[in-house]
Amino acid sequence: MDDLQIQLLIDLHRSNFRQGPGGEAETKQALMLAGLDKSRPLKIADIGCGTGASTIQLAKELDAEITAVDFLPEFLKELQSRAKEHGVADKITTLSCSMDALPFTDEEFDVIWSEGAIYNMGFEAGVSAWRSFLKPGGKLIVSEITWLTAERPSELQSHWDAEYFEIDVASAKIGVIERHGFIPEGYFYLPTSCWIDNYYRPMQNGFDAFLERNSGSDQAREIVECEKAEIALYEKHRDHYSYGVYIAKKI
């Protein structure tokens, strides 16, 4: 991806509340399944936080000191201004860094949270690398693109084989979690509303303004076409895949 493409993607996504599928009720459900101790301050890393949909919710619901990590400083800037609006800026520190080169120390965190982002380094690599940053008994809460069915139409299979070869069924993802020294404590998958109402619709509503801001450049148009194709694929095949949300405890 060249620099201009990255700038365009930032421009398209920055003003949206989320940069991936998710929802407040679902973040709450994950919190509940994780059974976090609310009686003491928790040290949390939110990795691939984007503009902070989950970060801000966690800051509001928990007694927490949160490090919000993303490799795009533009998203972190937006997160900081939203955190101020919500009165939780003092609970959040931002860190612009790649998720595969985190500067954390061993057993630093009570919780590692990551919504819609771990695929950027690969699920298995992320689960394995991030484990060391958790205290024993610490919790990993991570959402990951997941097949909901054992069989899929070939059009869909070949799309995802090309996009992200690690996409798999939940039982396989849970196997990865187990093999890397975690006890799986919970799993559910995001309902359609998390994709359509919370992510795709707001993005679609911004397409015209995005094209106008970028004078309808070929690259901007290409990005919109690419997002439209992704949305059409989801609408056609949504019974076959979603984000799975995995909750696990470090042994």
Nearer to ligand SAH, 122 or 181 (CB): 122
CA distance 115 to 21: 8
Among 8, 12, 19, 250, binds ligand SAH (CB under 6 A): 19
The interaxial angle of helices 3-13 and 218-237, nearest 10 deg, is 60
Span near ligand SAH by CB under 6 A; candidates 26-34, 65-73, 173-181, 225-233: 65-73
Task: Decide if 194 contacts 23 (C-beta within 8 A).
Answer: yes
Q: Which residue of this chain has its Cβ atom nearest to ligand SAH in the complex?
A: 50
Return phi, psi of residue 14, to 5°.
Answer: -60, -40
CB 18 → ligand SAH: shortest distance, Å? 4
Going by C-alpha positions, the residue among 29, 20, 56, 17 that lies closest to residue 245 is 29
Is 22 a binding residue for ligand SAH by CB under 6 A? The answer is yes
Strands 182-189 and 109-114: unpaired
Span near ligand SAH by CB under 6 A; candidates 13-21, 129-137, 163-171, 231-239: 13-21
Supply the Cα-derived Rg of the chain in whole angstroms: 18
Nearer to ligand SAH, 80 or 120 (CB): 120
Span near ligand SAH by CB under 6 A; candidates 33-41, 50-58, 170-178, 229-237: 50-58
Which residues from 85-124 bind ligand SAH, rule CB under 6 A? Answer: 98-99, 115-117, 120-121
CA distance 102 to 114: 14
Span near ligand SAH by CB under 6 A; candidates 23-31, 67-75, 128-136, 188-196: 67-75
Among 8, 20, 79, 139, binds ligand SAH (CB under 6 A): 20
Structure tokens at 49: 């936080």
Task: Decide if 66 contacts 72 (C-beta within 8 A).
Answer: no
CB 238 → ligand SAH: shortest distance, Å? 18
Nearer to ligand SAH, 5 or 98 (CB): 98
Q: How far apart are the first and last CA of the chain?
A: 38
CA distance 99 to 177: 18
CA distance 141 to 249: 9
CB 68 → ligand SAH: shortest distance, Å? 9
CB 21 → ligand SAH: shortest distance, Å? 7
Return phi, psi of residue 57, to 5°.
Answer: -65, -45
Binding site for ligand SAH (CB under 6 A): 18-20, 22, 48-50, 53-54, 70-72, 75, 98-99, 115-117, 120-121
